């Protein structure tokens, strides 16, 4: 298989990524910026380009009911009914996102299949490359929607009924761009799965390696909290008679920072807690804040530490109600366990890296990816390519083209090995 790596064409991969970056392009002075929300014209063009590239290589293209796209290649010697080895990522972006997030994984997967074809290799199992719908959650969900449907965790009807801020449903948006298919992509039918993604951190850059092999993906709990006080005149309301929702919310934000730092020092160094949303009403300079909505994101590779942060939030809310006379509401609609990558996929990636002469390190993923769903139903692995400066979800996102090519070589070798076991 050694000669397979020379067939990975970095120029071809670069062309696909740069062409996709034009869809939804946002003018910026430095870097590359794109906004590709599910069901928009930019998303349609990105999808159409991907389907065109699948067709060029003779892959059997299918689009499921929630818009997941899969291209399946059955090698000459493979059983067409056999479980396939799958790879891929997503084509949607956050608002003002970068050009590599998701897109690298989709086209690295396709390039890996093209390289295997060009090398005249015929693995024993079919290969698939997938572009999942609504991974970023920029329009219709909290994220990873397409993969949650593919594993059966979400049903098709509920997914299609999700709405954006204007009331448009996912089903309506997919019909508008002509990418609402039939049936459901079934990830449980896959033999195994690998995803290549940009790291979105600096560990690979700091260690000067071109690829990282992920061992765990952090779990994520997202909490939504409303703190209700009393809006009143800033000049005529005495300090002792105020019920200020903002000062109460500020105490909660500092409590989350404090307890998370304590957990990092004493229990789990990978724990993080973030108050990423802080909406104050009525938001006038001369009015005491009457309500605050907080959106909180908690992550770790150990679920216990995540629950400890949630418990501290609940205790803090109870104290604030008692000491500050505010009312509070709490919900946690997004709750995903940490998950480990399969030993089989990790070992295969290490073997492929050795064969290709690629230096790697093992690391965990602090961000969620479609792989965290797929790993629940089949053997799964995740590969990282370096992110310069750690920037992601912005115009500054950058992965050197040579690192894109090297990590794609690793992916191609591992996919071939998984499909020839």
- 3-state secondary structure at position 379: strand
Q: How far apart are the first and last CA of the chain?
A: 13
Pairwise CA distance, residues 343 & 349, whole Å: 10
Q: In the 8-state DSSP scheme, what is residue 304?
A: H
Are the beta carbons of 35 and 24 closer than 8 angstroms? yes
| Non-local CB neighbours of 206 within 8 Å, separated by 6+ positions | none
Domains of the chain: 2-217+339-419 (3.40.630.10), 219-336 (3.30.70.360)
Q: Which residue has the tokens 């801020």?
A: 165
CA 30, chain centre distance (Å):
24
Cβ distance 41 to 122 under 8 Å?
no
Residues sharing a CB contact under 8 Å with residue 69, sequence separation 6 or more, in sequence order: 47, 50, 51, 54, 61, 62, 63, 130, 131, 179
Mind listing the pLDDT tens digit of every residue in the chain (421 residues)?
668 999 999 999 999 999 999 999 999 999 999 999 999 999 999 999 999 999 999 999 999 999 999 999 999 989 999 999 999 999 999 999 999 999 999 999 999 999 999 999 999 999 999 999 999 999 998 889 999 999 999 999 999 999 999 999 999 999 999 999 999 999 999 999 999 999 999 999 999 999 999 999 999 999 999 999 999 999 999 999 999 999 999 999 999 999 999 999 999 999 999 999 999 999 999 999 999 999 999 999 999 999 999 999 999 999 999 999 999 999 999 898 999 999 999 999 999 999 999 999 999 999 989 999 999 999 999 999 999 999 999 999 999 999 999 999 999 999 999 999 7
383 close to 350: Cβ distance less than 8 angstroms: no
């Amino acid at each position: 298989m050694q000669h397979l790596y020379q067939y990975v064409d970095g120029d071809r991969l670069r062309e696909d990524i740069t062409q996709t970056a034009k869809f939804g392009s946002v003018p910026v002075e430095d870097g590359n910026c794109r906004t590709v929300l599910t069901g928009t014209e930019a998303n349609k063009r990105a999808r159409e380009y991907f389907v065109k590239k699948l067709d060029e290589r003779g892959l059997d293209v299918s689009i499921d009911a929630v818009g997941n796209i899969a291209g399946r290649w059955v090698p000459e010697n493979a059983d067409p009914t056999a479980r396939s080895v799958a790879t891929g990522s997503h084509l949607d972006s956050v608002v003002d996102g970068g050009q590599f997030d998701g897109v690298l994984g989709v086209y690295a997967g396709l390039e890996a299949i093209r390289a295997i074809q060009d090398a005249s290799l015929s693995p024993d199992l079919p290969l698939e490359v997938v572009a999942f719908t609504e991974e970023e959650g920029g329009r219709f969900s909290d994220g990873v929607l397409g993969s949650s449907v593919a594993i059966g965790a979400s049903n098709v009807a509920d997914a299609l009924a999700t709405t954006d801020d204007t009331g448009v449903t996912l089903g309506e948006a997919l019909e508008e761009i002509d990418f609402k298919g039939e049936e459901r992509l079934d990830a449980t039918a896959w033999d195994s799965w690998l995803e290549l993604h940009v790291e979105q951190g600096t560990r690979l850059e700091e260690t000067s390696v071109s690829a990282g092999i992920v061992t765990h993906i952090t779990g994520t709990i997202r909490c939504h909290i409303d703190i209700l006080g009393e809006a009143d005149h800033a000049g005529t309301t005495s300090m002792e008679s105020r019920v200020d929702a903002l000062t109460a919310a500020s105490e909660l934000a500092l409590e989350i920072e404090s307890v998370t730092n304590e957990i990092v020092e004493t229990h789990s160094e990978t724990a993080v807690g973030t108050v990423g949303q802080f909406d104050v009403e009525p938001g006038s300079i001369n009015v005491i804040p009457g309500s605050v909505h907080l959106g909180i994101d908690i992550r770790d590779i150990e679920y216990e530490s995540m629950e400890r942060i949630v418990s501290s939030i609940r205790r803090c809310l109870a104290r604030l109600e008692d000491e500050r006379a505010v009312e509070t509401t709490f919900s946690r609609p997004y709750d995903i366990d940490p998950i480990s990558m399969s030993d089989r996929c990790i070992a295969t990636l290490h073997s492929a890296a050795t064969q290709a002469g690629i230096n790697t390190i093992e690391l965990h993923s602090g961000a969620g990816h479609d792989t965290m769903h797929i790993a629940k139903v089949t053997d799964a692995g995740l590969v990282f390519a370096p992110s310069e400066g750690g920037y992601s979800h912005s115009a500054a996102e950058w992965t050197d083209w040579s690192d894109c090519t090297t990590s794609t070589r690793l992916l191609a070798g591992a996919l071939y090995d998984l499909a020839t076991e």
